[in-house]
Amino acid sequence: MGEKVFLTVRPAERDEVFTDMVRIHRSHRIDSDNNIIPAGKVIRIDHAGKHAFAIARGLPDTIARYPEKDRVILMDEFMRQRLSVSSGDKIDRRGITSASQLERILWYLQATNPAVHVPAWLAVISIGLGVLSILLSLALASSSAQESFDIDFSEVPTVHFPTGDQIVSAYPAFEDYSFMLFDICDAFDFTIDSGDCLIYPMNASIGGNALATVVDGNKVIVYDRALSPLVGYEGAEMIIAHELGHHHCRHLGRSVDPRHELQADAFAGAAAKLMRRSLEAALSAVSVLDERPSRTHPGRQDRVAAITAGWNDPGAGKACELP
């Protein structure tokens, strides 16, 4: 867990009252294995014999107004009452842990937001209605999750193109991929309000590829889940970081340049370092890269060098600079 750190309790933003959420800087969301707890995950907060469950998010831009800077925890009045704390009190960071599976269920059931706890209780009640209602709920959830729309890649800007059909059916990304994007944004202190992280993660079958594009004026990252068995979780995270790099470095709509790939690689390496990933983790997706260079992409050796450079100098990687 590292050094002993106390976080100062401060009020949540007005529009985040009764959202069952707390905001903590990513450097203080550390679990018992010294791993960063991803943004969007349910955490348990223990303090002076009290405990509460909440969704963890990063700190907003307005945090600069507090003298403690990143050593704060923002929570609404209801959460403060649960923990018997007031604004200005201190909470030991070691009391913040990842919630267990059962505790995540309890969070849904105890949430103050009716939009969360009412469906949760209805789900619990529905269990008593039998297997038929459960199967029906799963079918409805599945159809909702798979709601898709078509992207015609002959009409939108992108730095990569899918193999095969140019019209692809994409759907909102599964939870893991969305959390990957949130964690990467969190590492760079990117926010939705600033536009740096106003990006929509999507999944689609695009020939084992991933790409950055813009659809109807919205920045999108499309990731083919067929990549994940090949590169693992950390590899998928680095691929998404690479595509975020294309957006951040403003490569879309520009002439094809292999250096753009190296800049996005360096950006991904920087993301890995800022997320406390090892260099080995930063390079976990290189096995799917072509060894030889092409008109659009450098060879594997040059790309490994760019990722490594970004990992060694995150500031340069974030600035889209190459050594």
pLDDT score of 258: 93
Q: How far apart are CA 129 and CA 133, in angstroms?
A: 6
**pLDDT mean for each 10 residues of the chain (323 residues):** 81 81 88 84 90 86 70 88 91 89 70 54 55 51 53 72 71 82 90 83 89 88 92 94 96 91 97 94 94 93 97 96 85
Burial 223-236 (b: 16+ CB within 10 A, else e): bbeebbeebeebbb
Q: Are 267 and 311 in contact (CB under 8 A)?
A: no
Predicted TM-score (pTM) above 0.75: no
Q: Domains, the chain, ranges and CATH?
A: 6-114 (2.40.40.20), 149-318 (no CATH)
pLDDT score of 179: 84
Q: Are 170 and 205 in contact (CB under 8 A)?
A: no
Q: How many CB atoms lie within 10 A of CB 100?
A: 11
CA 226, distance to chain mean position in Å, is 19
